[in-house]
Amino acid sequence: MVLLYHFRLGVPQVVVSRFDPEIFCASVEKYKVTMAGVVPPILVVLLQHPAAEKYSLRSLVLLTSGAAPLGLELVNRVKAKFSKLGNNDIVITQGYGF
């Protein structure tokens, strides 16, 4: 439903067939993605994969996590990583029914 809601509003969307850290990060940079729906394991990958530092992720303002519990420790680690990359204002939320 979230994808359809944004489609109805005319918000451009970037959809990939499967998650690949290189493609994800390159797409964020290329298309200036501002919001992304992710699952906690993707956040863990972004902490560890060199693509997160290779591409600019500064356009991201909101990461919405779902499908599994999102711990505060992981949120703090991701915020620290993004801050190190020059993105101090990112908001990370947890949704239900993702």
Q: Show pLDDT as tens, one digit a residue, over the chain (98 residues).
A: 555 676 677 777 788 889 999 999 999 999 999 999 899 999 999 999 999 999 999 999 999 998 888 889 999 999 999 999 888 889 999 987 54
Residue with the two structure tokens 């918000």? 11
92, 74 contact by CB (below 8 A)? no
Q: What angle do CA 25, 8, 59 make, to 5 degrees?
A: 25
Q: Give residue 63's pLDDT.
A: 92
86, 58 contact by CB (below 8 A)? yes
Residue 46, exposed/middle/buried by CB under 10 A (0-12, 13-18, 19+)? buried
As given in the structure block, the two tokens for residue 87 are 């993105």
Q: Give residue 13's pLDDT.
A: 79
Element (H, E) at 76: helix 72-84
